[in-house]
Structure 1
Amino acid sequence: MSVSDAGRQAVNADEQAVEGRTSDEEFVDALPKVELHVHLEGSMRPQTLLALARRHGVDDLPTDIDGLTKFYEFRDFDHFIEVYLAAVRVLRDADDFAVLARETALGLAGQGVRYAEITFTPFLHLGRGIDAGELFEGVERGRREAEEATGIQVRWVTDIPGLPNMDLRLASEGTVEFALNHRESVIALGLGGPEAGVPRPQFAEAFTAARDAGLHRVPHAGETTGARTIWDSLEHLHAERIGHGIRALDDPALVGHLRAHHIPLEVCPTSNLRTGVVADYSDHPLPKMIELGLPVSLNSDDPPMFGTTLRGEYLHALRSLGLRRGQVIDLAAAAVEHSFAPAPVKEAIRAELAAVADRVRTAS
């Protein structure tokens, strides 16, 4: 029996009883979770950003929490990228990256996350003169410290920064080289940045090299542009999962293809609202994607910048998107299946999720 089957039997059999006797918070907190789409740099806590800015004398950023809150009010996706690039300048040495990695992983563990694939963008830092060895030593130190403290397992996705004002060939080659030099915990190649004006086919060589070397491929696509970027990612970048992918609904043929080939989409609802891609939770396509049978998971993207957490995304799924608890258990189960975690890790989370679903039903 799959976790999804167990979840449906455990919750949907008596949905109203579950809804009435177990709070949403208790239900969400009980779920073991997997996070597939979260950015390390975008996970910097406001307090950490302020401390690092003071430490390194970065004096053109806000100097208090209220200022940062206003700083994180994005006009659109392009403005979000501007703010993102301004914020990462506070990361200067191995200790900075260790703090960021440790705090990010511990924050996820505190939300019941057992396994996470965290994206970071080494070329943003290499291009600022930071040594590749120092960068990796920092993120690895933070990762190991969090695992030793909580048991959370983290693996890295290295992201090509698809920025139109950047030497994209150099960025691609540098990112792939970094990933291949650190295979002990780097498992996949990603592609971020604006989609408009940055055609996916130009990254084909990098993604082919990643595939040939045994790395997984998880580019962003179909977030701010239409279905074509998703098709391009499948056809040219050998994509195994798609970051966001909400515009797949524009093309029924693509919906059928994703469903038939079971190509997962990493959906981040609050992110889509905060960058202006979707107007409101009531307009978000996730419920329709589920209805159409698309393989989807729930993720947080850049949590502090968007004022969310993975826990918050699960609560929004119930309260703002109108999903039933059985559907939310299915989302948690899907994240396990869509991950690149080793088989024993998946099996352990599956078993825990099935047991939690059964306890929720029994308690109700």
Structure 2
Amino acid sequence: MTEFAPTLTEKTAAAPKAELHIHIEGSLEPELIFRLAERNGVKLAYNSIDALRAAYAFTDLQSFLDIYYAGASVLLTEQDFYDMTMAYCERALADNVVHTEIFFDPQTHTERGVAIDVVVAGIERALADAEQRGLSSKLILCFLRHLPEEDALATFDAALPLFDRYRHRLIGVGLDSSERGHPPSKFERVFAKARAKGLKLVAHAGEEGPPSYVYEALDLLKVDRVDHGVRSIEDPALVTRLADTRVALTVCPLSNLKLCVFDDLTKHTLKALLDEGVAVTVNSDDPAYFGGYVNENYRATVEALQLTDAEVYTIIRNSFEASFVTDAERDALIARLDAHWHANAIT
């Protein structure tokens, strides 16, 4: 009986991996949006699932955010947040994600009168259930950068009891939403408060914004990871710094394509950054809107950039090395990856 070696795409899909850039509200599929809308008596601007999907023709980040916030309007109860999070966990488990670090946007919900305690309780309950099935996870509270820093400071203060109550899961803060015109420096004070509390720090920078935003995230916010960061390639000194310090970039290829950061995936900067020694990772960002969860992002990137077996291994390993886990947990995750990679050698 002849045994056939897997293709690199098959090997990658089956590999244990971490996802470090996933907005839980961005995993809200149209089918679930309509189900929650019916359950909660929310009137949507679209009369069918197909009509909603047809609106996913984005020209930039803001055109996406307009749809994204409208979709989130159906989330009202703890059970809604549980259902949304569990639906993502099912997808992650199917893609062999063994560790995930999830972003959530409390301001999207509190401005609609949904208490932050309700949001976190629903998400936490789903993540605890998924953990019993082999998916470890952390949770990162993100501030909306198009709002004033005063709003972020108020959100942080309101969340302080939750950071203590859910300290096993809620481990950091981030910065997302519209990048243009909202530099990281705008949020220096709230990040300083989070840093003083010992939280992990991440921020979106260098997606639509310039490399200078990445510098601000590093020097002013003092982030542990940079989300996106794909425009860093425009500044050789920044690339060298990222490579030397091993500050990881949580890259989202299909998101970048869908939001017109690149007009063709073959032009993506991920491989160039990888070649320079930058710790790039592959993630799905807002998969319900951008056409694919993490395995689809890997597949499309491997094919478009013609990545090698060794390059894909490095990217997946980077995802574990950049994870906010203990050293022992990280070693165990990398050992699982190594066992899979060696057992499925491509000759």
| TM tier, smaller | over 0.9
Cα 1:322–1:180 shift into 2, 3 Å: farther
User: What corresponds to 1:95 in structure 2?
Assistant: 79
Match of 1:158 in 2: 141
What residue in structure 2 maps to residue 348 of structure 1? 332
Kept after mapping to 2: 8 A contact 1:50/1:63: no
The alpha carbon displacement at 1:62 in A equals 2.5
Residues 115 and 138 (structure 1), Cα distance of their counterparts in 2 relative to 1, 3 Å cut: same
2:12 aligned counterpart, secondary structure: helix
Q: Pick one of 235, 238, 247 that aligns with 1:254.
A: 238
Q: Is the 8 A contact 1:62 1:71 kept in 2?
A: no
Of 170, 175, 179, which residue of structure 1 is paired with 2:151?
A: 170
CA contact (8 A) 1:176 1:210 kept: no
Match of 2:14 in 1: 30
> 1:275-320 CA distances to partner (integer Å, 9 max, x unpaired)?
1111111111111111111111111100110011100111112211
Contact 1:122 1:175 in 2 (8 A): no
Alignment partner of 1:284 out of 257, 265, 268:
268
Which residue number corresponds to residue 115 of structure 1? 99
TM-score normalised by L of structure 2: 0.94
1:206 aligns with 2:190: yes
How many residues matched?
A: 342
CA deviations on 1:210-264 (whole Å, 9 max, x unpaired) are 1111101100000001101001111110111000001111111111111121111
For 1:51, the equivalent position in structure 2 comes to 35
The 3-state SS of whatever aligns with 2:141 is strand
8 Å CA contact retained: 1:190, 1:217: yes
Residue 181, structure 1, aligned to residue 162, structure 2: yes
Relative to structure 2, which stretch is displaced further, 132-141 or 190-199? 132-141
| C-alpha spacing 1:289/1:142, structure 2 compared with 1 (3 Å) | same
Q: Determine helix, strand or coil for the equivalent of 2:73.
A: helix
- Look up the match of 2:88: 104
Q: Secondary structure at the match of 1:211?
A: helix
The 3-state SS of whatever aligns with 1:287 is helix
> Comparing both chains, which one has the higher relative contact order based on Cα–Cα distances under 8 Å and sequence gaps of 6 or more?
1
Contact kept, 8 Å, 2:247 with 2:279, in 1: the verdict is yes
Q: Give 4+ residue runs of structure 1 displaced > 3 Å after superposition.
A: none
**Structure 2 runs not aligned, ≥5 long:** none
Deviation, 1:44, is 1.0
- Which residue number in structure 2 is paired with residue 320 of structure 1? 304
Distance of 1:271 and 1:292 partners within structure 2:
23
| TM-score after normalising by structure 1 | 0.90
* Other-structure match for 1:297: 281
1:133-179 deviations in Å (ceiling 9; x for gaps): 2222111111112222x11011101100112xx34312333135415
Q: Secondary structure at the match of 1:323?
A: coil
Q: Which amino acid counterpart does residue 158 of structure 1 have in structure 2?
A: L
Contact 2:117 2:162 in 1 (8 A): no
Residue from 119, 128, 146 that aligns with 1:144: 128
Deviation for aligned residue 1:60: 2.8
Give the conservation status (yes or no) of the 8 Å contact 2:149–2:190: no
Deviation string 1:38-67 (CA, Å, 9 cap, x unpaired) is 100001122111101122232233243321
Query: Match of 1:173, as an amino acid?
Result: A
Question: 1:72, CA displacement in angstroms?
Answer: 1.5
CA distance in 2, matches of 1:93, 1:199: 33
- Check 1:25–1:283 CA distance in 2 against 1; reply closer, same or farther (3 A cut): closer
Please say if residues 240 and 276 of structure 2, whose CA atoms lie closer than 8 Å, have aligned partners that are also in contact: no
Identity %: 31
Rate the CA distance shift 1:178–1:289 in 2: closer, same or farther, 3 A: same
CA contact (8 A) 1:333 1:350 kept: yes
Q: Secondary structure at the match of 1:320?
A: helix
Give, in whole Å, the separation in 2 of the partners of 1:102 and 1:343.
Answer: 27
Q: Whole-Å Cα distance in 2 between the matches of residues 263 and 281 of structure 1?
A: 24
Pair 1:24–1:66, CA change in 2 (3 A) = farther
RMSD: 1.7
> Which range is displaced more, 68-77 or 168-177?
168-177
How far, CA to CA, are the matches of 1:89 and 1:184 in structure 2? 28
- Contact 1:123 1:175 (8 Å CA) reproduced: no
